[in-house]
Structure 1
């Protein structure tokens, strides 16, 4: 017998076999297309499960799963500390973790216009490790790389800028499916567009994933115990994802109602979190589900290019969060206060509140932000008139245009895929995307593409 121990937020998904017949888990797949990730320990298969976080798992000598027992459970145990005391602990902890993770290695740092990577940059700027930073922007999109370049220059890092080009997906989609096993749809993994460049960079990668969830409010004050599930479902379910799930549910002849099944699954998962504070409870749910089954899936692309480190995934960071009063976690206060210790970094534009920065973002409201809003609208209209509309979403580069459409149809309308998902279902969502509302129907179309590659790679 073997015992496997998983972290509070695992940096990879571990799948093990059950002593069952090898058949598709159609109900789990329906949840996947509705939300974009699998719940709990679900997989594509009835005889395969994903080991749950923060648990010790026993596997028999034949490799079959036996049982699990949690070694950690999320809790809310706030300590009676001042904000400054918590801030000092947070900065010390983040610094210690980054030091321990990167050791003496050169560091590769993906930079964005947000707060997580900027927090890492501040810590790394005080270390002796050589740092190679990079960022990317969409072709004809907002130049977020300029914010990142500014941060890198202030910190004294080398910097490379990349542009995510139109249609890059089709050259790498087979490789991406092999890397992530089709456990995440394909339009989020922008790093695949620059995979070779990342592979050639020297050092270990320091990734800031999940800091934005840990260091912010889990839910608004208006959410109650009775409304947690509906609140989470609104966050989880993607546009028209349920519509696709319902059609597949009927196509595959599954018993009951998909919506009732999904609600019951979320209710059961929430009920296992024994926390009274609503905000902390929601954060725990998100971390045990989203982080593990969605964010971690996409980490596999980075890991295929470079060794990765994740300061916010560290067990110590999760345990620390459980002891911080919610009032100090709300609105990214700790991260902002940390970065404001370096005035030059604080003055760099905060992408979520552009064109404002960490010193004046409180003015991102009417009437103070009216000039920037007008300027942005005029810029978008001019770009549209010139035939270069602003690209804001990755799928716009991968699904729009004749060449993209030809590639997309090759996957969606193959004879083999029609044996898995009936062509009338695929045709309906393809038509809605093309002729009705592409923004709303992009998600189900992307999920169908994911299922098409899954079917192809597994010879279903």
Structure 2
């Protein structure tokens, strides 16, 4: 016998066997198609599970899971504490975590125009660490790298900007399908486009994943149990997700209906979280089920070239969050205050989510103050479109649109073997919907078909 202890938010998915036939878990695959990640401990197979976060697991000599018991359960016990004291506690904790994680290694810090990596930049600069930075922007999209470079310049970190180009996915899709095991769709892992260039950088990644969830409110009012379930479903079900999942459910002759099945599963999982505050409860749900099964799935891309560290995933950080009043987490208050405390110049750089405003004036991102920017931005997009350069906001636009992309995509969708799993009728319906009806609505179902096609190819 051996035991495996999982972190509160694991940075790896650990799969083990359970008793039963090696049959496909069609219900789990339907959920995967709807939301983009496997829920709870689901996998592709009924006789395999993913170890749950915050558990101690007993594995027998044959590799079968014998027992799984929680060692940590999310809670909400807000302390009667001044904001300045909470900020000081966060400062000490955050910097000690980063210091212990990266030690004296050369750090690779992916930067964005948001707050999570900016908070890390402030800490790494204050701790006088050896840091290399980079960022990427979509071809013909918002120049996110421009904001990232400004952050790097303030901290005097070396910086490199990359462009995510049209059609890069097809040269590396087999590689990424093996790296993440097809447990996440491929168009979100844009780091795969620059992975070769990252091999020569630094010793260890410091990644900012999940900071935006831990350090913000998830809802600003108390909800009923049913309202909480509805909100979770609204957050996790992707556009077009129900359509593909219902079609798969019907084609595989599963009992009942998919919508009821998914709602009942979410309701059951949510009911097991012993937290009354809706915001804290929904954060706990996302940290239990979304982070370990979606966010974590593509961390393997980074780890394929260098070790990874994640300060926001740290067990002590999660425990700290459970004791901080929601009012201090809402609107990213702690992170903003920390950045201003450690490096005021970083607070003057535009906050991408609130552009063109920064951390000092983002509350003016409302009418009429933001009207001039919105008008200019819209005109700019229209002009670019008229010049044959439509504005790109999402990775799938670069990987799925255009004649060459279509040829590559069709090669996977209409692979003869894949139709043994997904009927040609479903593939035709999704693909035609994407091409003719609404490519935004059908982009997720199309991406899930591509993911399932690669999984089927790799495992049959």
TM-score (norm 1): 0.99
C-alpha separation in 2, matches of 1:431 and 1:86: 53
User: 2:51: which partner in 1?
Assistant: 51
User: 1:430: which partner in 2?
Assistant: 431
The CA RMSD over aligned residues, in Å, is: 0.7
Task: Give the C-alpha shift of residue 277 in structure 1.
Answer: 0.9
Q: Are residues 1:41 and 2:59 paired?
A: no
Counterpart of 1:184 in 2: which secondary structure?
coil
CA contact (8 A) 1:395 1:442 kept: yes
Counterpart of 1:125 in 2: which secondary structure?
helix
Written as runs of structure 1 = structure 2, the 5 A alignment for 1:344-383 is 344-383=345-384
Q: Are residues 1:9 and 2:9 paired?
A: yes
User: 1:410: which partner in 2?
Assistant: 411
User: 2:219: which partner in 1?
Assistant: 219
Counterpart of 1:267 in 2: which secondary structure?
helix
User: 2:131: which partner in 1?
Assistant: 131
C-alpha separation in 2, matches of 1:443 and 1:380: 24
**Runs of at least 4 residues of structure 1 off by over 3 A?**
none
C-alpha separation in 2, matches of 1:116 and 1:289: 21
C-alpha separation in 2, matches of 1:225 and 1:90: 31
Task: Give the C-alpha shift of residue 222 in structure 1.
Answer: 5.4
User: 1:26: which partner in 2?
Assistant: 26
Unaligned ranges ≥5, structure 2: none
Task: Give the C-alpha shift of residue 20 in structure 1.
Answer: 1.5
User: 2:309: which partner in 1?
Assistant: 309
User: 1:390: which partner in 2?
Assistant: 391
Deviations 1:68-89 (A, max 9, x none): 1000100111111000000110
C-alpha separation in 1, matches of 2:293 and 2:237: 14
User: 1:201: which partner in 2?
Assistant: 201
Task: Give the C-alpha shift of residue 203 in structure 1.
Answer: 1.7
Counterpart of 1:136 in 2: which secondary structure?
strand
CA contact (8 A) 1:223 1:231 kept: no
Task: Give the C-alpha shift of residue 199 in structure 1.
Answer: 1.4
User: 1:118: which partner in 2?
Assistant: 118
Counterpart of 1:200 in 2: which secondary structure?
coil
Give the total of aligned pairs: 459
Q: Are residues 1:269 and 2:269 paired?
A: yes
CA contact (8 A) 2:222 2:277 kept: no
Deviations 1:316-355 (A, max 9, x none): 0000000001111111000011112222100000000011
Written as runs of structure 1 = structure 2, the 5 A alignment for 1:229-240 is 229-240=229-240
Deviations 1:118-137 (A, max 9, x none): 00000101223211000000
C-alpha separation in 1, matches of 2:285 and 2:420: 36
C-alpha separation in 2, matches of 1:263 and 1:327: 29
User: 1:151: which partner in 2?
Assistant: 151
User: 1:140: which partner in 2?
Assistant: 140
User: 1:62: which partner in 2?
Assistant: 62
